[in-house]
Amino acid sequence: CVSIINPYIYQTDCLPRTKPPEEIAATFTPALLKSRTILVAEAGGEIVAYLSMSDGWVAAVYLVPHVRGTGIGKMLIDRAKAECPEGLELTVFEPNADAKRFYEREGFHEVPERRDDNTEEGVPTLLMRWRRAA
């Protein structure tokens, strides 16, 4: 997970680095990993994407750049939907238009009253919610 998220933060324009890589790596403790469901995708013997979730809350979805647009993100979201058929919620950084479009394609809708302008990163986030169609 760390090998994906740290490079992502350096490569994206929508998320400033507020912590050194070592501090981010230290957050992936055994206790944290035990408390969440971690879905991973592998290609060529390496982890190329992961999704972290707990009780319908998707805490993180990150992919290495060369697998974006290949269906791996959709596969992870579909698996998360199967694990939590009652619904999922997540936040997306507001400037990350690609991620927002992806989640909208996957049936997520923005919950406007749950916008957060006071994030640790200093970047506003939007709450997005998916509910299975009746």
CATH of residue 11's domain is: 3.40.630.30
Reply yes or no on whether the pLDDT at 10 is more than 70: no
Output the pLDDT for position 112: 82
Higher-confidence residue of 132 and 101: namely: 101
**Residue 112 CB: number of other CB atoms within 10 A?**
8
Average pLDDT over residues 30-56: 83
Average pLDDT over residues 82-104: 93
Output the pLDDT for position 133: 80
Contact in structure between 81 and 105 (CB atoms under 8 Å): no
- List of E strands, 1-133: 37-43, 46-54, 57-63, 88-93, 109-116, 125-130
CA 57 to centroid of chain Cα atoms: 10
Distance CA 54, CA 77 (A): 13
- pTM for this structure? 0.76
Q: How many domains does the structure of the chain reveal?
A: 1
Of the listed ranges 48-52, 68-72, 113-117, the least confidently predicted one is 113-117
Categorize the per-residue pLDDT at 6 as very low, low, confident or very high, splitting at 50, 70 and 90.
Answer: very low
Output the pLDDT for position 65: 82
Identify which of 43, 51, 53, 134 has the alpha carbon closest to the alpha carbon of residue 88.
53
> How far from 52 is each of 6, 33, 44, 133, CA to CA, in Å?
15, 9, 21, 23
Reply yes or no on whether the pLDDT at 46 is more than 80: yes
- Give the residue ranges of DSSP H helices in 15-83: 21-26, 30-35, 72-83
Domain encompassing residue 83: 2-130
